[in-house]
């Protein structure tokens, strides 16, 4: 299985891109667990809640991977698109609380992914009841934190920017390169 993670600040099209890619490749995608958690529990979250959210995210990822494994019957590895990972939880924890649970950091080391798609802040802000940072300056600061993380780790990554259509095209090109490289190893 090839796991492709879509990360970036809020309101940068991560969920939409995951859904588009899953439809394009006729596969499943793993949504962001935090959205459902916060809708159920409210926005007055604590540092401890972020650990609960992180564990929920990985459980949801594992469930999505199991569904995909059961559906897969091709000669090529199946693709799983994941909206958010432990890097997002680390950034969120440190940005809001100035600290990160060791369990999250341990999961960053243990979990392996095949490609990151980093969504830039150049889409118009779309407000909803869960979003906290409508100002572009904060969102750009968060984007640069994510970019610094990706530059300093080993998994390939691609920056996703431009219109929704352009973002999708760049993402598909990156996934196709991953598939091609995988077919040589498979």
DSSP H helical segments within the chain, as ranges? 14-24, 33-41, 47-71, 86-97, 102-110, 136-151, 164-185
pLDDT in the model for residue 75: 65
Cβ neighbours for 80, distance < 8 A, ≥ 6 positions apart: 1, 2, 3, 4, 27, 28, 29, 30, 61, 64, 65, 68
DSSP state of 76: S
pLDDT in the model for residue 132: 83
Domain that holds residue 12: 2-185
pLDDT in the model for residue 62: 97
pLDDT in the model for residue 74: 64
Task: Specify the number of domains making up the chain.
Answer: 1
Q: What is the pLDDT along the chain (186 residues), one digit of tens a residue?
A: 999 999 999 999 999 999 999 999 999 999 999 999 999 999 999 999 999 999 999 999 999 999 998 886 666 789 999 999 999 999 999 999 999 999 999 999 999 999 999 999 999 888 788 888 888 899 999 999 999 999 999 999 999 999 889 999 999 999 999 999 887 764
The enclosing domain of 46 has a CATH number of: 3.40.50.300
Say how far apart CA 70 and CA 60 lie, in whole Å: 15
32-53 per-residue burial string, b: 16 or more CB within 10 A, e: under 16 = bbbeebbeeeeeebeeeebbeb
Say how far apart CA 39 and CA 37 lie, in whole Å: 6
pLDDT in the model for residue 161: 96
| Alpha-carbon distance values, 166 to 126, 143, 152 (Å) | 19, 19, 26
pLDDT in the model for residue 72: 66
pLDDT in the model for residue 45: 95
6 beta partners? 83, 117
CA 180 to centroid of chain Cα atoms: 22
Question: Residue 4 corresponds to which tokens in the numbers above?
Answer: 């492709």
């Amino acid at each position: 299985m090839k796991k492709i993670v879509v990360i970036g600040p809020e309101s940068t099209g991560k969920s939409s891109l995951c859904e588009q890619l899953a439809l394009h490749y006729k596969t499943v995608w793993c949504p962001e667990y935090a959205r459902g958690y916060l809708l159920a529990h409210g926005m007055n979250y604590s540092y401890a809640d972020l650990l609960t959210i992180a564990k929920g995210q990985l459980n949801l990822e594992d469930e999505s991977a199991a569904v995909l494994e059961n559906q897969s019957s091709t000669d090529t590895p199946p693709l799983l698109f994941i909206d958010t990972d432990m890097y997002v939880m680390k950034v969120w924890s440190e940005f809001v609380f100035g600290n990160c649970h060791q369990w999250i950091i341990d999961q960053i080391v243990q979990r392996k992914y095949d490609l990151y798609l980093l969504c830039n802040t150049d889409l118009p802000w779309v407000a909803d009841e869960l979003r906290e940072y409508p100002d572009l300056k904060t969102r750009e600061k968060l984007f640069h934190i994510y970019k610094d993380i990706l530059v300093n780790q080993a998994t390939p990554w691609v920056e996703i920017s431009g219109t929704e259509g352009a973002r999708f095209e760049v993402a598909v090109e990156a996934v196709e390169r991953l598939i091609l490289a995988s077919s040589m190893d498979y």
